[in-house]
Amino acid sequence: MSWNLVVATGWRQERLCMEELYRIGDIVGRRVEEVWFTGFDGLLTAKVEGDPVEFVKLLKDVVSSNYYIPRYILRATPIMVVVKTDLDEIQKAVGELAERYIAPQESFKIELKKRGVKFDRMSVIEYVAKAVNRKVNLTHPDKVVWIEMFPSRTGISVIKEEDNFSLMKNRSHE
């Protein structure tokens, strides 16, 4: 099970969100290969064909053009790599992604979403940040190290803030 998208929906809306995600895939011409329940209310993981960052961009384009407005997909976060939920593995993956996607002159911040894990939030952020040899900027970073932590697997991305999809943000920009 290797996913590359984390999708948030309303409470008890997972099944409808799942169907809508497949529909969006058809609309944007990118196959949604599989969708999984995470075991956490309102949260799904999915495997989409191709680059997940591009998939989210296509979703945003569909919404901003008013071609299709999702009812159940509230947020979508692209995931570049999935590792075991182990701090050393997470730190190693973050270091590799940061080296590849954050230029030496660029700044970053870490966004951590953790569910069902006992790790202390700040301890995780501080530990993982040691792998990123770039300047920190918590208010206007060039890139965001996005970490979606679940009990057994953790998804990681290095993206721009606007590479995430938020229905609320997309609809408020009209």
3-state class (DSSP) for residue 174: coil
The structural domains of the chain, with segments of one domain joined by +, span 5-79+161-171, 81-159
3-state class (DSSP) for residue 44: strand
Query: pLDDT tens, 58-75?
Result: 999 999 999 999 999 999
**Is the overall model pTM greater than 0.75, yes or no?**
yes
Q: How many residues does the chain have?
A: 174
* 81-159: CATH architecture: 2-Layer Sandwich (3.30)
Q: Which two tokens stand for residue 26?
A: 């058809």
Q: Which two tokens stand for residue 12?
A: 């008890």
Q: List the one residue out of 40, 15, 11, 35 whose CA is nearest residue 25.
A: 35
Question: Average pLDDT in the 169-174 region?
Answer: 69
Q: Which of the four pLDDT bands, split at 50, 70 and 90, describes residue 172? A: low
- How much of the chain, in percent, has pLDDT values that exceed 90? 95
Dihedral class, residue 39 (left if φ above 0, else alpha if ψ from -120 to 50, else beta): left
- How much of the chain, in percent, has pLDDT values that exceed 70? 98
Q: Residue 24 has what pLDDT? A: 97
Query: pLDDT tens, 119-159?
Result: 999 999 999 999 999 999 999 999 999 999 999 999 999 99
Q: Residue 170 has what pLDDT? A: 78
Q: Residue 64 has what pLDDT? A: 93
Q: Which of the four pLDDT bands, split at 50, 70 and 90, describes residue 103? A: very high
